[in-house]
């Protein structure tokens, strides 16, 4: 067994053994096994993981262009069809509704609201994680 698989098995075993966790561990190990069989180097495995992470979160791999063919979904003609968190307002200005999230309890819980929205310019590459805003002088705990 390769080092990557031995490490994965060890770490997954530490997560617990209830039925749901065992199923998820099996699924994760299958993915790691495929990656291990592909023979990636340090550079290529980072590239692969970044791309898989974005795709699993239904995020684009290249910047949004704002061109006409990127707009319109069955639910909303003013929604970007490559990234569902980007919309156009009534004036045609684009914004990301998941740009930031807020906490008022030091990070124990997070929420979004209209303030989560940020107007954007194209080309636009959505961030993997939203900007975190601590309210009421709260700090990361």
Q: What is the pLDDT of residue 63?
A: 98
pTM above 0.85, yes or no: no
Q: What is the pLDDT of residue 17?
A: 84
Q: What is the pLDDT of residue 95?
A: 98
Domain locations along the chain: 3-56, 62-141
Q: What is the pLDDT of residue 49?
A: 94
Look at residues 127, 125, 129 and name the one whose alpha carbon lies nearest to residue 64. 125
Task: List pLDDT tens digits, range 3-21.
Answer: 889 999 999 999 988 999 9
What residues in the chain have per-residue pLDDT under 50?
Answer: none
Sorted by sequence, the CB contacts under 8 Å of residue 87 that are 6+ apart come out as 76, 78, 79, 80, 94, 95, 97
Task: List pLDDT tens digits, range 61-76.
Answer: 999 999 999 999 778 8
């Amino acid at each position: 067994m390769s080092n990557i698989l031995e490490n994965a098995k060890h770490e997954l075993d530490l997560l617990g053994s209830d039925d749901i966790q065992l199923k998820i561990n099996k699924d994760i190990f299958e993915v790691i096994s495929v990656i291990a069989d592909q023979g990636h180097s340090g550079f290529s495995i980072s590239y692969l993981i970044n791309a898989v992470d974005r795709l699993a979160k239904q995020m684009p791999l290249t910047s949004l262009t704002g061109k006409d063919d990127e707009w319109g979904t069955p639910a909303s003609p003013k929604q970007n069809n490559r990234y569902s968190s980007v919309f156009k307002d009534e004036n045609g200005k684009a914004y990301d509704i998941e740009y930031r999230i807020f906490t008022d309890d030091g990070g124990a819980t997070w929420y979004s609201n209209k303030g989560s929205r940020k107007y954007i310019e194209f080309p636009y590459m959505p961030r993997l994680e939203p900007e975190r805003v601590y309210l009421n002088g709260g700090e990361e705990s």
